[in-house]
Structure 1
Amino acid sequence: MNDYGTRIASDTVRLERVLPGPIERVWSYLVDSDKRGQWLAYGEIEPHVGGSVEHRFHNSKLTGHDDPPPPEFARYDGEHLMTARVLAYAPPHLLAYTWPGGGEVPSEVRFELAQEGDDVRLTVTHSRLPNRDEMVSVSGGWHTHLGVLADRLAERSPVSFWQTFARLHDEYQRRIPRS
């Protein structure tokens, strides 16, 4: 499996990871605020379609390295609040919600979980991205956050968030065509 996200449509990127299970454990890292806060963002998710989603991001403190973002991402230093709406909620297999971002209309993120023996395949699909720059940023962000999640589930110490994100952002600049 290739760890890099794949552009599957002009406005959509998909990433997959095989993570240590069971599926209920991985699901809990998607919906439980304290567990999600260890790899993405803290905040409550109301467990029904139409429910609210709150994410409180603080990427500089996510991995324990407390590294500052590169200058071009300095606006993301500190805590940032994102609010959204649940689009799908089917434990422990499917979670989807809106994702406010760089466009007038929110994009959408979809998490799909499938048990594979003792492991779980997590597929993250982020769609309705308004432009290539947003797709590059989202791809690098999800790739970095999913690496932190994999480390947390494997009980490893994650590497520096911002150093990893900067490297991956540059890689996605090369991988995602400008067309």
Structure 2
Amino acid sequence: MDKPTFVYVTYIATTLDKLWEALTSEAFTQQYWGDGQLQSDWEVGSSVQHINPDGESDWQGEVLQSEPPQRLAYTFQLPNETELQPSRVRFELEQSGTTVKLTLIHDRLDTQSCLNVSRRWTVSLSYLKRLLEIEDGLAWVA
């Protein structure tokens, strides 16, 4: 039986480079990841982790693919689920006129995890879109 996959597609009025920066910049990720931030050098094989405001890691993974500004993929694993195979997060960015089509694919999930990540991703990516499309957000990333 195949494991569930969460797919989310949105169009953001921005550029490929600005969206890539928003996905990979520690300071910018803090604005839409619920006060935490992603930390990585985004090189294939490097670690990636979400650090909460207390300085602790909420989840961690390994960068699987990094092709700026079009593809980014990493594993995703919660600290209490180390006996399970990590899930995988993939971002695909594609310029579409004056917008960028952002496709998020989070796969290798179990049913409960799929429900949990679908809520979290929907909120986080909605905030990301809003930040990039408001004038202050665009100025920050420029």
Q: Which TM class, normalised by the smaller chain length?
A: 0.7 to 0.9
Report if the CA contact (8 A) 1:96-1:111 is conserved. yes
Match of 2:14 in 1: 21
Find out whether 1:93 has 2:88 as its counterpart.
no
Task: Indicate how the Cα distance of structure 1 residues 111 and 57 shifts in structure 2: closer, same or farther if over 3 A, else same.
Answer: farther
Higher strand share: 2
Find out whether 1:132 has 2:111 as its counterpart.
yes
For structure 1, the residue ranges without an aligned partner over 5 or more in a row are: 1-8, 59-77, 158-179
CA deviation vs aligned residue, 1:34-65 (integer Å, no higher than 9, x gap): 0111112413212311011121245xxxxxxx
| Distance apart, 1:155 and its partner CA | 1.9
TM value normalised by structure 2: 0.82
Supply the distance in 2 between the matched residues of 1:156 and 1:55 (Cα, whole angstroms). 27
| SS, match of residue 28 in structure 2 | helix
Q: Which has the higher contact order (CA 8 A, sep 6+)?
A: 2
Runs of 4+ in structure 1 off by over 4 angstroms are: none
TM value normalised by structure 1: 0.66
For structure 2, the residue ranges without an aligned partner over 5 or more in a row are: 137-142
Match of 1:61 in 2: none
| Distance apart, 1:13 and its partner CA | 1.1
Count residues with an aligned counterpart: 129
Find out whether 1:115 has 2:114 as its counterpart.
no
Find out whether 1:47 has 2:42 as its counterpart.
yes
Supply the distance in 1 between the matched residues of 2:56 and 2:75 (Cα, whole angstroms). 16
CA deviation vs aligned residue, 1:16-43 (integer Å, no higher than 9, x gap): 1101111100000111110111112413
Supply the distance in 2 between the matched residues of 1:54 and 1:21 (Cα, whole angstroms). 26
Supply the distance in 1 between the matched residues of 2:42 and 2:113 (Cα, whole angstroms). 28
Match of 2:132 in 1: 153
Find out whether 1:31 has 2:11 as its counterpart.
no
